Structure 1
Amino acid sequence: MTELNRDEELRCIGCGAVIQTEDKDALGYTPASALNKGLETGELYCQRCFRLRHYNEIAPVSLTDDDFLRLLSHIREANALIVYVVDIFDFNGSIIPGLHRFVGKNPVLLVGNKEDLLPRSLRRSKLTDWLRQQANQAGIRPLMTTLVSAKKNHQVEELLATIEKYRQGRDVYVVGVTNVGKSTLINQIIKQRTGVEDLITTSRFPGTTLDKIEIPLDDGHELVDTPGIIHQEQMAHVLPAEDLRLVAPQKEIKPKTYQLDEQQTIFLGGIARFDYLKGPRAGLTAYFDNNLPLHRTKLANADAFYEKHLGGLLVPPHQNEIDQFPPLERFEFAITEKSDLVFEGLGWITVPAGLVVAGWAPKGVGVLVRRAMI
């Protein structure tokens, strides 16, 4: 990399925050010694990103939701192609409410990331169609919908060709909520174009990119990674870092099918719960991280079972985290067509028509019903 210029505004190449050496608790802090080394090597990271990259430590940030939205407000005034990245495994948690308020009349390319997490038996053409229809229901009208796996580098080259086709000499803004894999995707793009690996800080923690990061394109325009909008209903916001590995899939999920009678319960670790309230014996399929332990019991015993086993048999949360864990809230649904009961940021259970069910999730985490994906 080329040496950085001290006279320019210095930004962390991992998260985009302005570098400063005065306040250890503020964004962009880096020790003076690290600043000097970064200026020499051209690889300048704030201390937060350095710790995240090398030690997987996450430090809290002081940016508010309004700060993030303010950083995105200039997109409306730009003449650009908007690449809107969603997490296929957490599509509903990926929705940006009022997306068109931020992007104005700029065209939107919808990119479903993490397609490698879904069963290979699911036809990708069917998944693309499902994704487009769900986006339409949310008021989003993309000019095209495509699938990628940024982590596995699947279809990234094809995405680049699509971006070139539709950007027509404009800048490109990559937008999405936290944790959908925007920065991982842009790292793949940078790697393919320059050979530089893992330039931008990535993690499973919310809010890793703190300010926009601009990557030059060949024609003088830029590809801009914007900060992820914080979606407070995601499960990642209520779990400690060590528990995220049990809810954030890193490889293809293996669905689990249960034959249930009414008045039965399935606990999703200790962080969520599914109740089958009323209906005939039915097969229900659960789509969650392979590491998340699922336990079936009778509905009549469920409350006592939860109280007795939370932090032990039912983890996460672990025993030392119970005091800080939010109480579970209940949402009841009458299912009229084959549907997914979704626990935002955790996964879903596919339920046939004609059943009455309930989903429980930590207070503040969304539970909803949608048209079945699979």
Structure 2
Amino acid sequence: MNHLKSSAKSEVEENSLIEFHDEGFPLERRTKSKKVKKQQKIYGTPDVDVAVSDTCCSGCGALMHCTDPEIPGYLPSEKFKVLVEEDQLKKAICQRCYLINHHQKALNVTMSKEEYRAIVKRIKSEKALVLLIVDLLDLPDSIIPDLPELVGKNKHIVILGNKIDLLPGDAENYLQRIKRQLKAYCASMGISTSDNKDIHLISAKTGYGIENLITRLQSTWKYKGDVYLVGTANAGKSTLFNTLLESDYCKSRASDVIHKATISPWPGTTLNLLKFPIINPTPYRMFRRAERLKQASHMTEDDMNPEELKRIIQFSKQGYLVGHIGRTFQANQPSKKTLVEFDPDSLSFGEDLEEDVKKDPSSDSSTDAELTYNEIKDAHWFYDTPGIMKEHDVPSGGEERMKTFPPLVGQDFELQGQGCNTAITDIKISSAGWVAVTAAKGDQLLLRTHAPEAAGLCLRTPPLLPHVVNLKGQRINKTPAYKTRKPQALVDTGLSVKAAERLKVRKKN
């Protein structure tokens, strides 16, 4: 892998998730007028007399019903009855998924730990592969501590460190260092692996590392059984599910039939088991896939479609690691199924509900693409399980959620400096990020932090990015903060070296 370019050649990124502060620097306070966001009204009424359907929401996997707004899969009775009568319920999404997608509003739905365990416990009795997805930004709190007891101690577990695209390269070979840290944290919680190839650093969003993951799964696990994706809430499970749905790991026609999972910034979006059928990696298919990957490694920007080229350029500006995911086998379907959604505003009283659901004259429900019996009778499935809510979490959202914010409790830490270019430790708050602390060698520091008593405040030693201070750029005028130097993005696959140079990104060796 190419080492990071020198600071003189690195560009400075103003909008970065990393901030550098000098203690004691006078700060000029600036006040900004707050914009009051209008509350999204929720119309419609429940009807407890209507039976729960056997149809799952295509966004979160919960059974659709109209009995209680606080139970996953709820639809207002006015809309629910119309969809059932028109036989359109299987194409719809629940009220919660709709508001998350279109209004960035999360409803208060509940799922007890007992309900969650009842869903995931089914893995114990099955011959299955478990993919543990871990949020690297929230190590070690994003690791499930009792995973072997939950899924069975005889299960093969592959560890996926997600969101690696958001961690900048603070030193040469930093990816190997992060992988070692991830392995050590998992081992301390009883999740050990003897083969380092079962630990992958990926970005479900940008596609980095996904092709290598698929190749590994198809060459080792092959077609032995089902695959379950597990992890804490908001670790990126739904994003990875959607990414693999459009890849060589899914049956070619399935991605045209199965809707994508709902993605949102709120934890616990996926409430039941979404699934897609895994493609059988026969020797012929593996050969065809290897040929495609070989050709992709020599692609130029002229060989890529405009949308994919735009995606790589966009992600290279937002993150540090980018990947390209292709399809070897694609079904020639004329069009995807129409997703029937609802508008909460249309459920106000006095509006004609029959006009709200309109059929596309060019399509007929009887001609919708469906997987045939022969395609799925012996299929193995890839499952996206619900997210385990972390014990220590920081309230997020609007004023209503912040009313439940607990009082702050002080906690003192004594640290000794190791040099101005090396972080001593990370002061980490679960799900909220961390502060890397540096000090002159030999200096004694006494730091007092304030956080909710159960917020998961802790020291992370060794720090995740011990040399992150090397990315400090110029000071931002009239503030104690500094700009961040952003190294060139690293592209995993899909571009030739010359194309990478022209796009101002680096190609992984």
TM-score by length of 2: 0.52
Mapped contact 1:328–1:361 kept (Cα < 8 A): yes
Distance 2:103 2:80 in 1: 20
Mapped contact 1:111–1:148 kept (Cα < 8 A): yes
Task: Using the TM superposition, give the Cα deviation of residue 187 of structure 1 relative to its aligned residue in structure 2, in angstroms.
Answer: 0.4
Mapped contact 2:58–2:259 kept (Cα < 8 A): no
Instruction: State yes or no: 1:344 paired with 2:503.
Output: no
Describe the shift of the 1:164–1:360 C-alpha distance in structure 2 as closer, same or farther (beyond 3 A). Answer: farther
Distance 1:130 1:109 in 2: 15
Instruction: State yes or no: 1:221 paired with 2:380.
Output: yes
Pairs aligned (count): 289
Distance 2:86 2:135 in 1: 33
Name the Cα RMSD after superposition.
2.7
**In the alignment, which residue of structure 2 is the partner of 1:365?**
455
Instruction: State yes or no: 1:116 paired with 2:116.
Output: no
Mapped contact 1:90–1:344 kept (Cα < 8 A): yes
Mapped contact 2:83–2:89 kept (Cα < 8 A): no
SS of match in other structure, 1:77: coil
SS of match in other structure, 1:369: strand
SS of match in other structure, 2:410: strand
SS of match in other structure, 2:235: coil
Q: Deviations over 1:45-83 (max 9, x none)?
A: 112112212222111112122221222112222211110
Unmatched runs of 5 consecutive residues or more in structure 1: 1-7, 243-317
Unmatched runs of 5 consecutive residues or more in structure 2: 1-52, 281-378, 419-423, 466-509
Mapped contact 2:204–2:210 kept (Cα < 8 A): yes
Distance 1:111 1:329 in 2: 34
Q: Deviations over 1:138-189 (max 9, x none)?
A: 2211342111111112221221222223324221000001010100011011
**In the alignment, which residue of structure 1 is the partner of 2:128?**
80
Q: How does 1:262-277 map to 2 (within 5 A)?
A: none
Distance 2:82 2:69 in 1: 13
SS of match in other structure, 1:94: coil
**In the alignment, which residue of structure 1 is the partner of 2:499?**
none
Instruction: State yes or no: 1:183 paired with 2:244.
Output: no
The match for 2:408 among 308, 318, 328 is 328
Distance 1:150 1:34 in 2: 37
Mapped contact 2:145–2:190 kept (Cα < 8 A): no
Larger strand percent: 1
Task: Using the TM superposition, give the Cα deviation of residue 355 of structure 1 relative to its aligned residue in structure 2, in angstroms.
Answer: 3.7
SS of match in other structure, 2:181: helix
Alignment-mate amino acid for residue 150 of structure 1: A
Mapped contact 1:342–1:369 kept (Cα < 8 A): yes
Task: Using the TM superposition, give the Cα deviation of residue 12 of structure 1 relative to its aligned residue in structure 2, in angstroms.
Answer: 0.9
Describe the shift of the 1:212–1:95 C-alpha distance in structure 2 as closer, same or farther (beyond 3 A). Answer: same
Describe the shift of the 1:334–1:184 C-alpha distance in structure 2 as closer, same or farther (beyond 3 A). Answer: same
Describe the shift of the 1:225–1:39 C-alpha distance in structure 2 as closer, same or farther (beyond 3 A). Answer: farther
Distance 2:81 2:244 in 1: 31
Mapped contact 2:55–2:90 kept (Cα < 8 A): no
Task: Using the TM superposition, give the Cα deviation of residue 340 of structure 1 relative to its aligned residue in structure 2, in angstroms.
Answer: 1.8
Describe the shift of the 1:323–1:170 C-alpha distance in structure 2 as closer, same or farther (beyond 3 A). Answer: closer
Instruction: State yes or no: 1:160 paired with 2:214.
Output: yes
Instruction: State yes or no: 1:32 paired with 2:50.
Output: no
Mapped contact 2:55–2:89 kept (Cα < 8 A): no
Alignment-mate amino acid for residue 241 of structure 2: I
Mapped contact 1:81–1:166 kept (Cα < 8 A): no
Q: Which runs of 4+ in 1 moved over 6 A?
A: none
Distance 2:234 2:146 in 1: 19
